[in-house]
Amino acid sequence: MLIETIREFNRAVPFRPYEIRTNGGERLPVPHPDFILVSPKGAWVIVTDENERPRHIHSLLIEEVATLCEQVPRRQVKRTR
């Protein structure tokens, strides 16, 4: 299960923001460990947004956990004809 991965991401020093992707296509960003709660047995995860609205997710619905990629500005390429 991906619950252990979530726990590892939360304990990482330094912490790096990540997101949880559900099998329904929803993406839930976790900008800081304070925004997530994992139940003791790992069956449920609660992620809150910046407005403190909770989203309850059963662990079986989690498809992927990945760090948020910092967007690097793309290099401008000059095209010649």
Among residues 39, 38, 16, the alpha carbon closest in space to that of 29 is found at: 16
Question: Per the domain annotation, does 51 fall within a domain?
Answer: yes
Which structure tokens are listed for 74?
Answer: 């793309």
How many domains is the chain partitioned into structurally? 1
Higher per-residue confidence, 47 vs 80: 47
55-71 mean pLDDT:
89
In a domain, 80, yes or no: no
16 in any annotated domain? yes
In this structure, is residue 73 part of a structural domain? no
Non-local (6+) Cβ contacts of 6 within 8 A are 20, 36, 38, 45, 62, 65
Establish if 75 belongs to a structural domain. Answer: no
Average of per-residue pLDDT values in the chain: 89
Give 16's contacts (C-beta < 8 A, 6+ positions apart): 9, 67, 68
Give me the pLDDT at residue 69, please: 74
Statement: residue 53 has pLDDT above 90: yes
pTM: 0.80
Distance CA 61, CA 70 (A): 26
41 lies in some domain: yes
DSSP code of residue 4: H
